[in-house]
Amino acid sequence: MTLQVGVIGLGVMGAEHLRLLREETAGAAVVAICDADAARARTLAAGADVFDDPFALIASDRVEAVVIASPDATHAGLALACLAAGKPALCEKPLALTAGEALQIVNAEAGVGRRLLQVGYMRRFDPAYCDMKRSTEDGLIGPPVLLHNTHRNAGAPDWFTGAMAITNSFVHEIDISRWLLGSEPVSAMVHAAPGRDPLLITLETERGELISTEVFMNACYGYHVHAQIVGRSGTVEMAQPAVMLTNSAMQHGHRYSENWVPRFRDAYRRQMGAWVRSVSTGVPVGASAWDGYVATTIAEQIVAALGGCGKVSLTLAPRPDFYR
Amino acid sequence: MTLQVGVIGLGVMGAEHLRLLREETAGAAVVAICDADAARARTLAAGADVFDDPFALIASDRVEAVVIASPDATHAGLALACLAAGKPALCEKPLALTAGEALQIVNAEAGVGRRLLQVGYMRRFDPAYCDMKRSTEDGLIGPPVLLHNTHRNAGAPDWFTGAMAITNSFVHEIDISRWLLGSEPVSAMVHAAPGRDPLLITLETERGELISTEVFMNACYGYHVHAQIVGRSGTVEMAQPAVMLTNSAMQHGHRYSENWVPRFRDAYRRQMGAWVRSVSTGVPVGASAWDGYVATTIAEQIVAALGGCGKVSLTLAPRPDFYR
Amino acid sequence: MTLQVGVIGLGVMGAEHLRLLREETAGAAVVAICDADAARARTLAAGADVFDDPFALIASDRVEAVVIASPDATHAGLALACLAAGKPALCEKPLALTAGEALQIVNAEAGVGRRLLQVGYMRRFDPAYCDMKRSTEDGLIGPPVLLHNTHRNAGAPDWFTGAMAITNSFVHEIDISRWLLGSEPVSAMVHAAPGRDPLLITLETERGELISTEVFMNACYGYHVHAQIVGRSGTVEMAQPAVMLTNSAMQHGHRYSENWVPRFRDAYRRQMGAWVRSVSTGVPVGASAWDGYVATTIAEQIVAALGGCGKVSLTLAPRPDFYR
Amino acid sequence: MTLQVGVIGLGVMGAEHLRLLREETAGAAVVAICDADAARARTLAAGADVFDDPFALIASDRVEAVVIASPDATHAGLALACLAAGKPALCEKPLALTAGEALQIVNAEAGVGRRLLQVGYMRRFDPAYCDMKRSTEDGLIGPPVLLHNTHRNAGAPDWFTGAMAITNSFVHEIDISRWLLGSEPVSAMVHAAPGRDPLLITLETERGELISTEVFMNACYGYHVHAQIVGRSGTVEMAQPAVMLTNSAMQHGHRYSENWVPRFRDAYRRQMGAWVRSVSTGVPVGASAWDGYVATTIAEQIVAALGGCGKVSLTLAPRPDFYR
A223 to chain C, minimum CA–CA distance in Å? Answer: 8
| Disruptive mutation site among D151, D186, D200 for chain C (greatest number of C CBs within 10 Å) | D200
Query: What mean pLDDT, rounded, does chain B reach?
Result: 96
Within 13 Å of residue D294, how many CA atoms lie on the same side as its CB? 23
Helical packing angle, C265-281 and C127-137, nearest 10°? 70
| pLDDT confidence bin for A213, thresholds 50/70/90 | very high
**pLDDT tens by residue, D221-248:** 999 999 999 999 999 999 999 999 999 9
Q: Choose among A246, A243, A248: nearest CA to A266.
A: A243
With 90 as the cut, is the pLDDT of residue C158 above it? Answer: no
Cα of B172 vs its chain's centroid, Å: 6
**pLDDT tens by residue, A54-107:** 999 999 999 999 999 999 999 999 999 999 999 999 999 999 999 999 999 999
pLDDT of the residue at B305: 85
pLDDT of the residue at A31: 98
Burial of A139 (0-12, 13-18, 19+ CB in 10 A): exposed
Phi then psi dihedrals of residue C65, to 5 deg: -155, 155
| Disruptive mutation site among C150, C151, C238, C251 for chain A (greatest number of A CBs within 10 Å) | C251
Contacts of C277 in chain B (CB under 8 A): 23
CB-based contact, C222 to chain A, within 8 Å: yes
CB-based contact, D215 to chain C, within 8 Å: no
Position A9 in a domain: yes
| Disruptive mutation site among A246, A263, A268, A276 for chain D (greatest number of D CBs within 10 Å) | A246
Task: Tell whether C239 and C226 lie within a shared domain.
Answer: yes
Degrees (nearest 5) of the Cα angle D233, D235, D236?
A: 140
Closest residue in D to C207 (Cα–Cα): D194
D200 and C198 within 8 Å at the Cβ level: the answer is: no
Task: Tell whether D22 and D87 lie within a shared domain.
Answer: yes
Task: Tell whether D153 and D166 lie within a shared domain.
Answer: yes
Task: Tell whether C200 and C115 lie within a shared domain.
Answer: no
CB-based contact, C237 to chain B, within 8 Å: yes
Contacts of A263 in chain C (CB under 8 A): none
Task: Tell whether B14 and B102 lie within a shared domain.
Answer: yes
Task: Tell whether D94 and D159 lie within a shared domain.
Answer: no
Higher pLDDT pick, B156 / D306 = B156
Task: Tell whether C250 and C135 lie within a shared domain.
Answer: yes
Domain, as residue range, for C77: 3-122+267-287
C232 and D212 within 8 Å at the Cβ level: the answer is: no
Distance CA C17, CA A258 (A): 47
Q: Choose among B129, B115, B133: nearest CA to B292.
A: B115
Distance CA B132, CA B150 (A): 15
C194 and D310 within 8 Å at the Cβ level: the answer is: no
Position D134 in a domain: yes
Helical packing angle, C12-19 and C265-281, nearest 10°? 60
pLDDT of the residue at B181: 98
Closest residue in D to C203 (Cα–Cα): D191
Contacts of A146 in chain D (CB under 8 A): none
Task: Tell whether B150 and B188 lie within a shared domain.
Answer: yes
Distance CA B141, CA D8 (A): 57
D146 and C200 within 8 Å at the Cβ level: the answer is: yes
Task: Tell whether B160 and B299 lie within a shared domain.
Answer: yes
| pLDDT confidence bin for C305, thresholds 50/70/90 | confident
- Cβ atoms < 10 Å from Cβ of A214: 25
Degrees (nearest 5) of the Cα angle A100, A102, A107?
A: 95
Query: What mean pLDDT, rounded, does chain D reach?
Result: 96
Sign of CA dihedral C240, C244, C245, C246: negative
Q: Choose among C140, C204, C216, C217: nearest CA to C177.
A: C204
Task: Tell whether B148 and B190 lie within a shared domain.
Answer: yes
Q: Which chains touch D (3 or more CB pairs under 8 A)?
A: A, B, C
Q: Choose among B238, A242, B135, B151: nearest CA to C242.
A: B238
A31 to chain C, minimum CA–CA distance in Å? Answer: 39
Residue D78: what residue type?
L
Position C321 in a domain: no
Q: Which of D242, D253, D255 lies nearest to residue B254, judging by beta carbons? A: D253
pLDDT of the residue at B162: 77
Are C296 and A290 contacting, i.e. CB atoms less than 8 angstroms apart?
Answer: no
**pLDDT tens by residue, D118-149:** 999 999 999 999 999 999 999 999 999 999 99
Degrees (nearest 5) of the Cα angle B121, B123, B128?
A: 165
Contacts of A214 in chain C (CB under 8 A): none
Task: Tell whether A273 and A166 lie within a shared domain.
Answer: no
Distance CA B48, CA B29 (A): 9
Low-confidence ranges of chain B (pLDDT < 50): none
State percent of chain D over pLDDT 90.
Answer: 95
With 90 as the cut, is the pLDDT of residue A306 above it? Answer: no
Range list of H helices, A27-160:
38-44, 54-59, 75-85, 99-112, 127-137
CB-based contact, C313 to chain B, within 8 Å: no
pLDDT of the residue at D213: 98
B220 and A233 within 8 Å at the Cβ level: the answer is: yes
CB-based contact, B18 to chain C, within 8 Å: no
pLDDT of the residue at A121: 98
Closest residue in D to C150 (Cα–Cα): D148
Contacts of A154 in chain C (CB under 8 A): 250
Contacts of B324 (CB under 8 A, 6+ apart): none
Position C310 in a domain: no
Distance CA C180, CA B244 (A): 14
D229 to chain B, minimum CA–CA distance in Å? Answer: 21
Contacts of D25 in chain A (CB under 8 A): 26
Position D314 in a domain: no
CB-based contact, D183 to chain A, within 8 Å: no
- The domain spanning residue C101 has which CATH number? 3.40.50.720
Phi then psi dihedrals of residue B189, to 5 deg: -140, 130
Q: Choose among D208, D271, D233: nearest CA to D135.
A: D233
Contacts of C221 in chain D (CB under 8 A): 233-235
**Per the structure, how many domains does chain C have?**
2
pLDDT of the residue at A234: 98
The residue count of chain A comes to 324
pLDDT of the residue at C104: 98
The residue count of chain C comes to 324
Phi then psi dihedrals of residue B216, to 5 deg: -130, 110
Task: Tell whether B185 and B113 lie within a shared domain.
Answer: no
A249 to chain D, minimum CA–CA distance in Å? Answer: 7
Contacts of D311 in chain C (CB under 8 A): 309-310
Q: How far apart are the first and last CA of chain C?
A: 29
Contacts of C266 in chain B (CB under 8 A): 266
Position C301 in a domain: no
CB-based contact, A2 to chain D, within 8 Å: yes
Position D40 in a domain: yes
Position C297 in a domain: no
SS3 B52: coil
Cis amide bond preceding A127, omega within 30: no
Q: Which of D194, D233, D309 lies nearest to residue C221, judging by beta carbons? A: D233
Q: Which of C2, C237, C244 lies nearest to residue B245, judging by beta carbons? A: C237
Predicted TM-score (pTM) of this structure: 0.97
- The domain spanning residue D146 has which CATH number? 3.30.360.10
Are C295 and C170 contacting, i.e. CB atoms less than 8 angstroms apart?
Answer: no
> Pairing relation of β-strands B210-216 and B144-152?
parallel
Range list of H helices, chain C:
12-19, 38-44, 54-59, 75-85, 99-112, 127-137, 162-164, 171-181, 260-263, 265-281, 289-305
> Pairing relation of β-strands A234-238 and A89-91?
unpaired
C222 to chain A, minimum CA–CA distance in Å? Answer: 5
User: What CA dihedral angle connects B75, B77, B83 and B89, to 10 degrees?
Assistant: -20
pLDDT of the residue at B307: 74
Q: Choose among C68, C250, C85, C230: nearest CA to C149.
A: C230
